[in-house]
Amino acid sequence: MIDKIAWISIKDGKVLGARSKGKETYYFPGGKREVGESDIETLVREIEEELTVQIDKESVQFFGTFEAQADGKASGETVRMTCYTGDYTGELAPAAEIDEIAWLDEKDRDRISAVSQLVFDQIYS
């Protein structure tokens, strides 16, 4: 089981997605926790590393936990993605392993991972 923390940022009915270098699929920004980190600490660190913005810890709210087949992994290997919303300061820009960011909506379902599609189901239902 891959345990991931993700940020759900919705603007004008679209959700922020990030595409890593060398990949075609978009994911929600975030990543894996380091030893001893809480969900919120992981979220804040990963988003600053990947998108150069600072998450306002006081605004963070739990959005949901989703599980699905892990993209590009052996059959049966799953990812559990715990998602949070939250306000940010700064200007979004791809950094670290992120090659591109995009605002996605329902028509982009085929461009996102299986677990991200579950999040789309909750947002767009």
Residue 62's domain is classified under what CATH number?
Answer: 3.90.79.10
Nearest 10 degrees: Cα torsion 94, 100, 101, 106 = -160
Give the residue numbers spanning the domain of 51. 2-123
Q: What's the confidence (pLDDT) of residue 71?
A: 83
Q: What's the confidence (pLDDT) of residue 125?
A: 86
Q: What's the confidence (pLDDT) of residue 73?
A: 83
Long-range (24+ apart) CB contacts under 8 A made by 28-31 are 28/81, 28/83, 28/116, 28/119, 29/98, 29/101, 30/4, 30/5, 30/6, 30/81, 31/4, 31/5
Number of structural domains (the chain) is: 1
Q: What is the pTM of this model?
A: 0.94
pLDDT in 10s for each residue of the chain, 125 residues:
999 999 999 999 999 999 999 999 999 999 999 999 999 999 999 999 999 999 999 999 999 999 999 888 888 899 999 999 999 999 999 999 999 999 999 999 999 999 999 999 999 98
